[in-house]
Chains A and B, each alone.
Chain A
């Protein structure tokens, strides 16, 4: 795949490497195994939800509702005694939200920002209705799946790898993946060439919501309880990660490597701030500065959005 379509450049790939090198030099405890395991546990949820955000960004959309979907999915698995039933319910929720978002954007022609803003608000209310205060109990089976090691590899890393592999297969080994890139690059050309653009856009939103559900289940399982405000920050956070990875919000340009580098950069910033004893509130400032640097390094043709 060429760099024009992937959005990856030496800046997006170099950023996490640079941060890694800086932290390894500045903080001696950074390279300790336990710390690296912690980092992987911290970024897993962001990486999974950002993969979904990328799929939507590829069709020139944006999904702000992923945060509320994560919270609600976490609350669902934390309030259901049967893990299988809880996960099924959460996935069904993701399917419904994705369908509503996708149909609203593709069929009704509502701007994605407004469409997903309204579903975000609605689902946040639903999460508070289901679980007014943080609590509940996630079945231990799920907790065991999200913590510890399997064959010497931290389980969070396996969650990331599984989701990244699934999205890779979807984008580069299926017809839908090719159509997603085609619709994102030029919806009208794609339509004239026989691509059913509406179905493609709806599928992209469904994939995004389903990945947000997976991230929500993972996050709830990791702390073994639900929290109705758990995912609130992930909506804009995932957009940040995607943008840091060189993915264009105007559609058609993006790659899994970009999402990994973006999420990794954000995770390393958080970890570095903890290790170096910097005020955690400066994290937003640092991230913002990096974002500005990243977007300025990639000059586009269009002005505006």
Chain B
């Protein structure tokens, strides 16, 4: 697909060549989404209907949010695998009915929990210099273990009416979860482009030693990235609980690894943020569209998983070889 683009544009004027070069430098998510949309237009046109497309975008919102947090920490050469645990804990706090508190207080408690998890992750990574992968994996295991052990005693309750309503609502035809996604995406993009924090983050990721020697507060930048990522996980939890309408201990378990894949397909890698914030967002939509497309083909679980793995590998391969 990429080779076809360049050969078509090569004989044209230099401007066209610049365009082709810019297209080639795009993260694989764009090309992947274009191919998928074309395939869907031929094979399953109903997926592109005005009714289903907003639903797929709605479904992509949690992954899209998670990948914002993930790309923030990845730019600083860190990683956050704790979203699964945070989401399960949020689901338990909101739906167990174990705590005699109102829904609003429960939601505040969830945000406080996210803050604590983010601070613990960040402090251990920055102060104790522990491996980010191990630390966030461990916090996820601790939270999931506690929740699963606690929830053995009673059946899961219903989600707060407010969240269920929010997940269903539309404003101007756009589902509210998508609006929430955009409401986080745009400030995050501005934060990276136009603020000192964004420059610090890029400098830290590009070369941590040079950043430290230049007097950049590189440790604080990584710490803040982890706090933001944990808070975004809480937001994902709110949306997912609203979708499902009930408590669940399997909610959002694949989000941590999928957000990692989406960040890399969107052009963000450990220590570099070439894809900006748009790349990962496109990648999140691409992956969700892919899951829906494969389901609509009626392949069944084995075929779906095999194609999913092959497509992620192919996109990563295309990008890596292209950058060399």
Residue contact B219 to A303, C-beta cutoff 8 Å: yes
Q: How far apart are B275's CB and chain A's nearest CB, in angstroms? A: 14
Q: Chain B, interface size: which category?
A: 35 or more
Residue B138 lies at the interface, judged by CB distance under 8 Å to chain A: yes
Name the CB-closest residue of A to B306.
A125
Residue A243 lies at the interface, judged by CB distance under 8 Å to chain B: yes
Residue B141 lies at the interface, judged by CB distance under 8 Å to chain A: yes
User: How far, in angstroms, from A285 to B88 measured CA to CA in the complex?
Assistant: 14
- Enumerate chain A residues within 8 angstroms of B301, measured Cβ to Cβ: 125, 128
Binds A, one of B76-84, B96-104, B186-194: B76-84
- Enumerate chain A residues within 8 angstroms of B310, measured Cβ to Cβ: 118, 122
Q: How far apart are A102's CB and chain B's nearest CB, in angstroms? A: 13
Residue contact B124 to A122, C-beta cutoff 8 Å: no
Consensus secondary structure, chain A interface: helix
Residue contact B128 to A296, C-beta cutoff 8 Å: yes
Q: A104-B313, A119-B309 are in contact. Are A303 and B133 (CB under 8 A)?
A: no
- Enumerate chain B residues within 8 angstroms of A118, measured Cβ to Cβ: 261, 309-310, 312-313, 316
Residue contact B303 to A303, C-beta cutoff 8 Å: no
Residue contact B129 to A117, C-beta cutoff 8 Å: no
Name the CB-closest residue of B to A287.
B141
- Enumerate chain B residues within 8 angstroms of A111, measured Cβ to Cβ: 264, 269-270, 316
Q: How far apart are A185's CB and chain B's nearest CB, in angstroms? A: 17
- Enumerate chain A residues within 8 angstroms of B91, measured Cβ to Cβ: none
- Enumerate chain B residues within 8 angstroms of A109, measured Cβ to Cβ: 320-321, 323-324
Consensus secondary structure, chain B interface: helix
Q: Mark A108-138, 1 if CB is under 8 A from B, else 0.
A: 1111011101111111111011001000000
Binds B, one of A25-33, A168-176, A275-283: A275-283
- Enumerate chain B residues within 8 angstroms of A281, measured Cβ to Cβ: 145, 148-149, 152
Question: Which of A249, A286, A289, A301 sits near B131, CB closer than 8 Å?
Answer: A249
Residue B281 lies at the interface, judged by CB distance under 8 Å to chain A: no
Residue contact A305 to B79, C-beta cutoff 8 Å: yes
Residue B26 lies at the interface, judged by CB distance under 8 Å to chain A: no
- Enumerate chain B residues within 8 angstroms of A240, measured Cβ to Cβ: 137, 141
User: How far, in angstroms, from A193 to B218 measured CA to CA in the complex?
Assistant: 33
A interface vs B, CB < 8 Å? 62, 64, 104, 108-111, 113-115, 117-126, 128-129, 132, 236, 239-240, 243, 248-250, 279, 281-289, 291-292, 295-296, 298-305
Question: What are 18 inter-chain pairs, A to B, with CB distance below 8 A?
Answer: A110-B320, A111-B316, A113-B79, A114-B261, A117-B312, A118-B261, A119-B309, A121-B309, A124-B305, A124-B309, A125-B302, A129-B302, A288-B139, A296-B128, A301-B129, A303-B78, A304-B222, A305-B78
Q: Lowest 3 CB-CB distances: which A-B pairs, in order? A: A125-B305, A122-B309, A284-B145
